[in-house]
Structure 1
Amino acid sequence: MQRNFLIAETWKKALKTQPLIAPWARAGLETSRSIRSLAKLYASGTQFDRRITGANLVSVCHPNWQGVRSASEGQGGDMLYLPDMTARGVAKAADLILEAGYTHVAFNGFWIGYDWLARRLKSQRPSIRLFGIWHGSFAQVTETFEGADDLKRVTDLAREGVLDRIGFVKNGMEKVFRYFGTPADLVLNRVPLQEHAVKEWDENAIALIPSGPNIRKNCHTQIIAALMSECFAEIHVIEDELEYLYLDERQRQRLHYCKGLSRAEIFELMARSTLAFNVTLSECAPMVVLEGIAFGTPCLSGNNHGIYDSNETLRSMLLVNREDDVCAIVDGILAIRENYPELLAQLHRFAIEYDRMASDGFEEFLNT
């Protein structure tokens, strides 16, 4: 029996004997999954096929953190989804990882119990390589006390030698923490490459805005810009209806609120969309942008991440410099529509190059 399926069965047995998660989280628990089975989530054609060499890797993340989860599933190893853990749950998780013979563990984000698990793994097997991957910006960290505390726990573990290295997906954060004496590197999220048809921008164009109500997500501004552009027959917003939008009936008819979609349904909608939006006020390395690229759907985003740093043409066309300016977003939409065929061709080439760069960089990060 393959190792990842063995872990899944063992973990299920453990759950029967001891509650390892809060009751509200039990329904969402998923156990170890081979990266090759992700086609069920991303649709057929997923190509996370460049597996990490020289490392027997398991990536750990919370099952309900959608962006972090998407990024984690591209790291090339097996997956272990762990929500809140009791002390006994930590012991069971450590036993599962050690018995399976993993040599490398990547913690994506740092949830309740992850620091206990890291300490236990290192104390029981000092040779195991442990990594913390931080998916967030400084602005995101300061939104809540918990966010700031989680980052402090990660950096403290690295300085103590429990974590061998920290990878930051936000450009520049790795330099900040190296300055303060923490072993840190920049890590790029991979592109979940897809087979997809070439799109056209026509009178049935669809806009996708997968932003929540958090003020940093800038959802209101993006909706108004999509409406004002008069470029879309439908605008899908993955959120509850926003009551504070002062719209007439004609405008409201174009808006479709669809909070609660499954990941598979979101990806299906992404594949059908003409343009996605992620013009937020602060970002790290947004998976919405990378998933859009993967599905052949350009994503207009704020100038607050480094995904397009290697391609000046894409930077100029897909980044909005004034994220909270409705008119600046409208200008971006119109420019993309005007250059849509050429933009799609560039994005296709860029996706392959960027994914290779991300994969090679992560392999180097694990083996440094």
Structure 2
Amino acid sequence: MRTQRRRWMTGLHPWNTPAEHRGAGGRTLAQGAAAEGISTMRDDTHLHIASSPEPSAPRQSQPEEAASSQYWKATSGYTYREMIRTRQDAGNPGYGQQEALLTKLMQTEQRALGRPLDVLEFGCGFGRHASYLASLEGVRYHGYDFSEAMMEPLRHAPPVGLEPVEERLFCGPDALTAVGDRTFDVVFTVSVLIHNPPERLPGLLESLGKLVRPGGLLCLVENQLVPFGVWENAWHQGCWLHPYAELTPAGWDMHHGGGLLATHDVYVFKRNASQGRRFFQLQSVEEPRDERREVTLESLNVESLPRLRAWTEHAGEVLREGNGLTGMQVSELTERLTVELKRSERRQRLLSLSDELVRLRAEPVVTARAPADALAPRYGHDNAAEAVVVDAPLDTTWAHVDPRLSRVVHLFHQEWYGIRAASGYAPGHKIGITANRALTAADHQRIAETCERLGARSVIFQGFSPNALEVMHMLRRVFGSTLKLCCVWHGSTAQFHFDFELETFSRLLVLREQGLLDAVACVKPEMHLMSPLLFQKVLLNLPPRVAPADQRHRAPPTRAAFVPTPNNWWKNFYSNVFVAASLPGMERVFVTSPFSARPELPLKASVINVGPLNRSELFNLIRETDVVLNVTLAECQPMTALEGLTHGVACLTGPLTLGALDEHPFQRLVQVAGTGSLGQIRSALERVVGLRERSPEEYAQMLEDYTQTLCAQAINHYLEFAQP
């Protein structure tokens, strides 16, 4: 083993060798490896220990190198994505842990740099990590892979934030040539290097180092720490355990994170000012630049012994059984065959959608339509130009990002703008359908194929209609139980005087009992008292996510208020307008509904009707006001209150009954118990405006703290509700 280790360590190159020193005839080892077809991929989180009778003989790897390359070039990204999803469904915890860790790392580095972060994933494949990293605020994701077949799903349906695709995705025999002269703040791999034999590692690491900008990071999420390299198994035509501490070259520091993930270790490399190499313990990726925990190479080798012991014990078991390679090959082929059969069956079901639609429309369906007030948008247009839209800018620009919800699809009606806003701010992909005309079989096929391309695991129907019911039946037929179907009812019992609302609520309970729906939730609290079939917790809406530059917590007062409600009795429109317009010092009150002024009413402010607004216009108007008023007689979770919150403008509301959130100082500041009392509305308005003018820092901190608390709780509830 000592001789083998010395041979692997010979020829190590500093990773920061300038590209111009390579010369026309001096290919890097990485380029040579790529030219010979060495794999640069994968996402595996399994650990299948040695199944070779000679696990310490890497020089036998040349046939396996070619086989590994052929395996990945011949593997469809759609098939491999389905294999990963199958493992996730079986309870593998590694995938979610990796996604959470990488999200924290990118956010930490972006905050440290204080500018947009350029990131490159080496071995991006079908886009598992691109699906959430590309949407992170201040992160410019780029992906490289040597296999076009693996990248096809990512190119065909890029996630939000990855455009223009041609400038963000690279494919070619080696990364240095494919990306050109670009360099990055963070370069990372996830289970890529384990599929490359030991003699290729120095060259691959050299290439990766050249892609890292000065001051940047190279992050490897790879095999657990070992003191020297060994061949692990034949899974995917070859896996190796590599000694990354030993491979650290002069001029670089290695920060080792053991125990941060269940099945992998994390290695963060950074250049140092000396020509030596140093080693540190990494306790959290939120502190990747911390250099207080220096350790020695010897101590890392001692730390790696348990992993090596596990390898030797398992290797002995496999050798005694005598059929390790054969059993592994059969297992892998069985997994792949199962996935391909599922995909084939799904395609067959898609072909029969037209007949299914005829059958569905022959059955009794919900016939009641929402009342005009429920369909009328507060801003925007009333008609859907397209029957189906996918990840439209209106539905993704202000969305929160959470990797745990990157496989969730929200399906909503384009015409119902309050619900569309709530859907658009939540993490996950978005499909908007029309509510006002029937969907065709082609529309259904597009929805199903979109869920397939995105690798969806859950679809959340935000609101309900005859069109939504047909889509539910279609998705259940195509995907079976592999796709979790959920629905959110956005009404309240106060609205049961509308036949539409009462009929909708009752129908959802029946669909939940029948099993067509896997879960039903409400945005009004304690609705589970109506039925045990309902999700026990209130589903909280999120505020829009806006860039810090668009926030104005500390802007000077404008002496303006905003009343965005429709002009009807349960929205309490005139009460809100009269209180705002009669407050001393208030100069303007903006409304979006017609208002009839009377000369005998003591209004001190001008009431200005701005009419319907699009989303950007709405946000701009909110930023031009001191306070929003939405004190209604019946309310769930008003979106304008959340839109005001994210722009640093408090919104008065009636009691919302949000549990522990109601005890937050912000909610005690803005909630009005007596929604029909002009005096209580005025007292609350004076309270908010007074605090904003008297103590703007306290006011801003209160809103920021409440926003963070609300978002964390809202996402946790979504996770409980939507995750299979």
Checking the alignment, whether the CA contact within 8 Å between 1:270 and 1:295 is kept in structure 2 is: yes
Give the 3-state SS of the residue equivalent to 2:531 in structure 1: helix
Aligned counterpart, 2:189: none
Checking the alignment, whether the CA contact within 8 Å between 1:207 and 1:273 is kept in structure 2 is: yes
Aligned: 1:66 with 2:417: yes
Identity %: 21
CA RMSD after TM alignment: 2.7
Checking the alignment, whether the CA contact within 8 Å between 1:308 and 1:315 is kept in structure 2 is: no
Task: Output the CA distance in 2 between the equivalents of 1:270 and 1:308.
Answer: 27
Aligned counterpart, 1:33: 391
Aligned: 1:97 with 2:482: no
| TM-score under structure 1 length normalisation | 0.83
Shift in Å, 1:66: 1.8
Q: What CA deviation, in whole Å up to 9, does each residue of 1:141-185 have, x standing for no partner?
A: x2421121122222211111101001111111134322xx44554
Task: Output the CA distance in 2 between the equivalents of 1:307 and 1:255.
Answer: 35
Aligned: 1:361 with 2:361: no
| TM-score under structure 2 length normalisation | 0.44
Task: Output the CA distance in 1 between the equivalents of 2:443 and 2:404.
Answer: 23
Shift in Å, 1:268: 1.2
Checking the alignment, whether the CA contact within 8 Å between 1:193 and 1:351 is kept in structure 2 is: no
Give the 3-state SS of the residue equivalent to 2:480 in structure 1: coil
Aligned counterpart, 1:199: 554
Aligned counterpart, 1:225: 579
Task: Output the CA distance in 1 between the equivalents of 2:575 and 2:486.
Answer: 37
Checking the alignment, whether the CA contact within 8 Å between 2:386 and 2:434 is kept in structure 1 is: no
Inter-CA distance 120–223: structure 2 relative to 1 (3 Å threshold): same
Aligned counterpart, 2:652: 300
Inter-CA distance 78–174: structure 2 relative to 1 (3 Å threshold): same
Aligned: 1:109 with 2:470: no
Aligned partner of 2:404: which letter? I
Aligned counterpart, 2:432: 81
Task: Output the CA distance in 2 between the equivalents of 1:236 and 1:270.
Answer: 10
Shift in Å, 1:349: 1.4
Task: Output the CA distance in 1 between the equivalents of 2:507 and 2:418.
Answer: 21
Give the 3-state SS of the residue equivalent to 2:431 in structure 1: strand
Q: What CA deviation, in whole Å up to 9, does each residue of 1:3-25 have, x standing for no partner?
A: 2789xxxxxxxxxxxxxxxxx73
Aligned counterpart, 1:279: 631
Aligned counterpart, 2:706: 350
Aligned: 1:57 with 2:434: no
Aligned: 1:237 with 2:585: no
Inter-CA distance 4–155: structure 2 relative to 1 (3 Å threshold): farther
Checking the alignment, whether the CA contact within 8 Å between 2:399 and 2:424 is kept in structure 1 is: no
Q: What CA deviation, in whole Å up to 9, does each residue of 1:231-265 have, x standing for no partner?
A: 4211001112x23x434598486100122222221
Task: Output the CA distance in 2 between the equivalents of 1:27 and 1:35.
Answer: 15
Aligned counterpart, 1:135: 490
Higher relative contact order (CA 8 A, sep 6+): 1
Checking the alignment, whether the CA contact within 8 Å between 1:216 and 1:281 is kept in structure 2 is: yes
Inter-CA distance 325–85: structure 2 relative to 1 (3 Å threshold): closer
The more displaced of 345-354 and 307-316 is 307-316
Instruction: Specify which of 333, 339, 349 is matched with residue 685 of structure 2.
Output: 333
Checking the alignment, whether the CA contact within 8 Å between 2:586 and 2:604 is kept in structure 1 is: no
Task: Output the CA distance in 2 between the equivalents of 1:356 and 1:343.
Answer: 20
Shift in Å, 1:327: 1.3
Shift in Å, 1:198: 2.7
Shift in Å, 1:121: 1.4
Greater CA radius of gyration, 1 or 2? 2
Task: Output the CA distance in 1 between the equivalents of 2:385 and 2:604.
Answer: 34
Checking the alignment, whether the CA contact within 8 Å between 1:207 and 1:275 is kept in structure 2 is: yes
Aligned partner of 1:177: which letter? S
Shift in Å, 1:304: 3.4
Aligned counterpart, 2:479: 125
Long gaps (5+) in structure 1: 7-23, 40-45
Checking the alignment, whether the CA contact within 8 Å between 1:298 and 1:344 is kept in structure 2 is: no
Inter-CA distance 249–151: structure 2 relative to 1 (3 Å threshold): closer
Instruction: Specify which of 663, 667, 678 is matched with residue 315 of structure 1.
Output: 667
Shift in Å, 1:187: 1.2
Between the two proteins, the alignment pairs up a number of residues equal to 337
The more displaced of 324-333 and 185-194 is 185-194
